């Protein structure tokens, strides 16, 4: 059995590693990650997502206290989450849209996805992503309910990433996704449990179930699309996965008006 001190050190290391991947917070480990460490740490991705959601919730609350309208508060909250993450997932969504939408061959699609320039498909994807999330938050309006929705969305949208990575092989031998490796079953299960817990606590059982169904369907569709077009997943595909999940959860929260 692992000593308690070692267990706590491993948990803290995993949390720092996950936060360093999905945020710009200066929490990266000073030592190079050991083999399999990144894959093992994926269980902490939804926990890191919770930090992002809390940042957006705090900005929304402050904006509301200053008398700003729900529209402006929602826009500032989205700006805060993009700032904390360095727009990592938005970049992945845009690259995925450009690559899958613009390339004719597998090689060309992967080449486009690695290009730092953004194309028409990418711009349209970002407009839709920000527009849908902004509209959902502005519709909810209530700062406390917005906080619940943001925390649930950023947590649960990342909770499925380990499962996606374990079930869909990398599309190329190099890159962020390939170097991370395939998450072990324990990490997949913990992340999934954290995501479900966040949804149930924030949205209630019924809305959580609706969100899970939508997340599963969108994940399956994205996996099939990625496998057919480029032979697997990449870091950009993972970013698109997160963004899609975030959008769906916020739309469910807005549609059902959690918390009144």
- Positive or negative torsion for Cα 57, 60, 66, 70: negative
Q: Is the pLDDT of residue 33 over 80?
A: no
Going by pLDDT thresholds of 50, 70 and 90, the confidence category of residue 258 is very low
- What are the pLDDT digits (tens) for 200-227? 999 999 999 999 999 999 999 999 999 9
* Whether the Cβ atoms of residue 198 and residue 152 lie closer than 8 Å to each other: yes
pTM above 0.85, yes or no: yes
Query: In angstroms, rounded to a whole number, what is the distance separating the alpha carbons of residues 2 and 104?
Result: 51
Query: In angstroms, rounded to a whole number, what is the distance separating the alpha carbons of residues 253 and 189?
Result: 25
Rounded to the nearest angstrom, the gap between the alpha carbon of residue 94 and the centroid of all alpha carbons in its chain is 14
Q: Name the DSSP letter for residue 34.
A: P
Q: Is the pLDDT of residue 83 over 80?
A: yes
Going by pLDDT thresholds of 50, 70 and 90, the confidence category of residue 259 is very low
Q: What share of the chain is helix, strand, coil (3-state, %, to 5)?
A: 80, 0, 20
- What are the pLDDT digits (tens) for 137-176? 999 999 999 999 999 999 999 999 999 999 998 988 776 6
Query: In angstroms, rounded to a whole number, what is the distance separating the alpha carbons of residues 51 and 214?
Result: 23
Rounded to the nearest angstrom, the gap between the alpha carbon of residue 253 and the centroid of all alpha carbons in its chain is 17
256 Cβ neighbours under 8 A, 6+ residues apart:
203, 207, 210
């Amino acid at each position: 059995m692992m000593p308690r001190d070692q267990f706590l050190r491993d948990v803290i290391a995993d949390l720092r590693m996950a936060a360093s991947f999905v945020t710009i917070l200066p929490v990266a480990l000073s030592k190079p990650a050991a083999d399999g460490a990144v894959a093992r740490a994926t269980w902490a991705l939804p926990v890191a997502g919770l930090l992002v959601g809390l940042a957006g919730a705090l900005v929304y609350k402050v904006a509301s206290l200053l008398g700003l309208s729900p529209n402006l508060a929602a826009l500032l909250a989205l700006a805060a989450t993009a700032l904390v993450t360095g727009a990592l997932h938005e970049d992945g969504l845009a690259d995925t849209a450009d690559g899958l939408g613009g390339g004719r061959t597998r090689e060309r699609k992967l080449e486009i996805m690695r290009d730092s320039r953004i194309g028409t498909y990418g711009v349209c994807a970002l407009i839709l992503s920000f527009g849908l999330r902004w509209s959902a938050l502005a519709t909810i309006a209530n700062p406390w309910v917005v906080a619940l929705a943001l925390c649930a969305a950023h947590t649960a949208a990342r909770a499925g990433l380990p499962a996606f990575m374990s079930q869909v092989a990398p599309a190329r031998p190099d890159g962020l996704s390939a170097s991370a490796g395939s998450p072990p079953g324990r990490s997949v299960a913990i992340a999934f449990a954290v995501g479900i817990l966040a949804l149930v606590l924030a949205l209630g059982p019924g809305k959580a179930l609706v969100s899970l169904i939508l997340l599963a369907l969108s994940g399956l569709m994205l996996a099939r699309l990625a496998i057919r077009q480029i032979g697997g997943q990449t870091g950009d595909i993972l970013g698109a996965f997160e963004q899609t999940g975030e959008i769906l959860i916020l739309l469910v929260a807005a549609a059902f008006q959690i918390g009144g």
